[in-house]
Amino acid sequence: MAKKKISEKRYEKNLEKLQEELCLLQRYVKLQGLRVVVVFEGRDAAGKGGVIKRITERVSPRVFRVVALPAPTDREKTQLYLQRYLKHMPAAGEVILFDRSWYNRAGVEKVMGFCTDKQYKEFLRNAPAFEKYFVDAGIILIKYFFDVSPKEQERRFQKRLNDPMRQWKLSPMDVESYQRWYDYTEAYDRMILETDSKHAPWYRVKADNKKQARLNCITHLLSQIDYDRLPYEAPDLGKRKKRKKGQPEEINFTHTVKERS
């Protein structure tokens, strides 16, 4: 039996509480110098971008940084596959959110034939060791897979087709992922089997209900990092200094945007 959809009012209230906690987490991460990596993978149109947007809405982009890499350049294609991801790893006091990650090789590259079978097998064999290196170095690594049903994915794609504000979201690769549902199912099933490890487990997020999925994912993310709710030390604003002789009272502009009525 399908769960009843959460009301907009309750959703916004719960989201606000979680975003407040994310701000508290941010303070702790920054002061303690933690390094955090969160990987977001999943089906196309499953809502990865939506949850990333809600995570980053109220926090500093200097602490929570989103990494969404384009297709590799000709030079990057000649490098070690995992090489271009290394430079995006966090420094102290940073949380890196990967909107898709090195797991492209186990998903789209495998299904679409963008890598050789040898490269694919090498990736599956090396990925757990690659991730253990990060974890052993003190990086907190959390991996999410957003899962959506074929019926719900089709509904979302159809919505994109008919909405000018969403049409840019429907790419040729999305069409391929829709048509090759079971090829992707097979690839993702093997990916999870081969790379779900004790040091870097995969967490499935059921995403047919977008709003509930966002709340569930953010709640889980907060539970994965042991942080203290450190008190905010408010600075003293003091008094505004008086205007010196000759200083303008306000900025003088030649052009101003017309205010709409």
The mean per-residue pLDDT over the stretch 9-33 comes to 97
What does the pLDDT read at residue 240? 92
How confident is residue 3, by pLDDT bands cut at 50, 70 and 90?
Answer: low
What does the pLDDT read at residue 2? 53
- Nearest in space to 157 (alpha carbons), one of 137, 177, 134: 177
Between 174 and 21, residue with greater pLDDT:
21
**CA–CA dist 182, 43 (Å, integer):** 11
Domain boundaries, the chain: 11-223
Answer yes or no: CATH 1.10.3720.10 is held by domain 11-223: no
What does the pLDDT read at residue 169? 84
- Summarize pLDDT for 30-74 with one digit per residue, the tens: 999 999 999 999 999 999 999 999 999 999 999 999 999 998 999
What does the pLDDT read at residue 249? 93
Residue 240, Cβ density class (10 Å: 0-12 exposed, 13-18 middle, ≥19 buried): exposed
What does the pLDDT read at residue 68? 97
- Nearest in space to 221 (alpha carbons), one of 81, 95, 84, 60: 95
Radius of gyration of the chain (CA): 22
- Nearest in space to 42 (alpha carbons), one of 205, 174, 250: 205
Tokens of 232: 């905010």
- Summarize pLDDT for 86-138 with one digit per residue, the tens: 999 999 999 999 999 999 999 999 999 999 999 999 999 999 999 999 999 99
CA atoms within 13 A on the CB side of 131: 26
How confident is residue 11, by pLDDT bands cut at 50, 70 and 90?
Answer: very high
- H or E stretch at 146: strand 140-147
**CA–CA dist 132, 196 (Å, integer):** 12
Tokens of 60: 């500093």
Reading across the β-sheet that carries 35-42, which strands appear in turn? 64-67, 94-99, 35-42, 140-147, 202-206
- Summarize pLDDT for 150-182 with one digit per residue, the tens: 999 999 999 998 888 888 888 888 899 999 999
